[in-house]
Amino acid sequence: MSQKQPNILFIMFDQMTAKALPCYGHPVVKAPNISRLAEEGVVFENAYCNSPLCAPSRFSMMSGQLPSRIGAYDNAALFPEDIPTIAHYLRDEGYYTCLSGKMHFVGADQRHGFEDRLTTDIYPGDYGWTPDWDNFERRPTWYHNMLSVVQSGQCVTSNQIDFDEEVAFHSIRKLNKLARSDDDRPFFLLSSFTHPHDPFAITKEFWDLYSDDEIDMPAVPQLPFEELDPHCQRIHHVCAMGEYEQTPERIRDSRHAYYSEISYVDAKVGQLMDALEKSGLKDDTIVVITSDHGEMLGERGMWFKMSHFEWASRVPMIIHAPARFAPRRVSQPVSLVDLLPTLTDIATGEKDPVFSDAVDGNSLLSLLTGGKEDEDATVQAEILCEGAVSPVVMLRKGPYKYIYCDRDPEQLYHLEEDPHEVMNLAGLPDFEQVCARFRSEAAQKWDTVALRKKVVSSQCRRRMVDRSMRKGRFTPWDFQPFEDATEKYMRSHLDLNVLERKARFPSPDIPEPDGPLGKRQEG
């Protein structure tokens, strides 16, 4: 039965670049379930994260606000409890909200508007991973390093596989429970997987989907260190990319494993869609596919994220609701902060005026329904984490991408003519006016000197708090899942017949008694 407010199944990945998906043109990767959703849905071809790092990207997406606006600078930045999220807005509109999987919330609030949370997180919720811009040369042990590349290959299981198996199990079980529930509220279920995040290790089943000779190598080979831009040089340092040689075999194995990890989580998408269909929820459910950021995967000799280059910052964004939105592809640049106003518009059927001041994103509802694309639409993104020493900001408009840091030379790329971003147009006379316009727009949006002071002050404050909390008994903020076992399965205070009937889907009819005990006794 069709609902006025649709259910929303939001499927999120970690470190999945749009560049590596077949629905975005990759010739090797196998992801049939995501591809099917793309064929039947609306595909945003130029979707970006607003910060190419896990926590700030997720906080920004959930709040519809840029990281600098809410202090979401890095993977140990507090996500304030008083910032409304997608879950808060939808819950306020009558939705049941539930989270299964990773969100990397930092702070004592580990729900942020979700009525239920089914799993713990794979990453810590405390200040332990706070960077230090004033001591850039020091590399903490928790920084990324090249062992993720050197040790790429097959495994029987891993930390990440353990987590994603749990995420899928709880998500599917929740969908089954929702189908059997007496609660008539629409649901917002966020199912968030940690793959294809490094380390690049996957089971034989998915590794064997690919042969070594079909694995494509980076379009832009490793560049000498001195030819990298200053920000890439800093990332090279913080991730110790020179510690191990990037041999062709290591690069190939890492890409092989990464593609296999995509196929692994694509299979999870298939399981979720199968659960939706079998439970009768599919027709009333909008499915959203996205990721928090991408993965450089050896392009120009760079790995992981923390970069505004396409492989690290461009993400998949697919919205599947064939009964509501005809399949199409949208080329207008959009970003993750647009999802909050979009989903709330879908849930309410109208634009909430609070968005004009409360969020940085714009609703994509008109684009979903076939509206005209905006040629002046601009994506804004920030890097305020390790790998930077001052804010690195990005503007994407039309065919251009502009990158600015007050410590570095400007960068300007024409993505249609230079999709691999190898020709920096900044400084060329023919593009001075283009640069000047972007420079002015960036100056109006960001005071990077003042923002740097805020970032450094926050880092110092959080490191002090973390240092003190580790003296004596350490009390972490990590979410502790709880299930009430007294209400599960068979219990003496629950009616046997009612429990069995409500737990079965579809629920069986209760026939009239027709045996000896059911016959009326004549007196």
Contact 143, 76 (CB under 8 A): no
What are the phi and psi torsion angles at 463 (to 5°)? Answer: -65, -35
Do you know the residue count of the chain?
523
| Residue reference for tokens 């003296």 | 471
Please state, in angstroms and rounded to a whole number, the distance separating the CA atoms of residues 90 and 95.
5
Strand order in the sheet with 392-397: 378-383, 392-397, 400-405, 411-414
86: CB partners within 8 A, 6+ apart? 61, 62, 64, 113, 188, 339, 340, 343, 344
Please state, in angstroms and rounded to a whole number, the distance separating the CA atoms of residues 146 and 235.
12
Active-site choice (23, 49, 54, 232): 54
Active-site choice (23, 98, 104, 320): 104
Of 221, 112, 204, 108, give the one whose Cα is nearest residue 155.
Answer: 204
- 239 in catalytic set: no
Q: What angle do CA 319, 321, 322 make, to 5 degrees?
A: 120
Number of helical H runs and strand E runs in the chain: 16, 17
117: CB partners within 8 A, 6+ apart? 98, 99, 100, 110, 111, 479, 481
The CA distances from residue 404 to 8, 69, 378, 408, 454, in Å, are 37, 18, 15, 7, 18
Q: Is the dihedral of CA 483, 487, 488, 491 positive or negative?
A: positive
User: What does the DSSP assignment read for 257-278?
Assistant: HHHHHHHHHHHHHHHHHHHHHH
3-state class (DSSP) for residue 190: strand
- 385 in catalytic set: no
Residues with active-site annotation: 54, 104
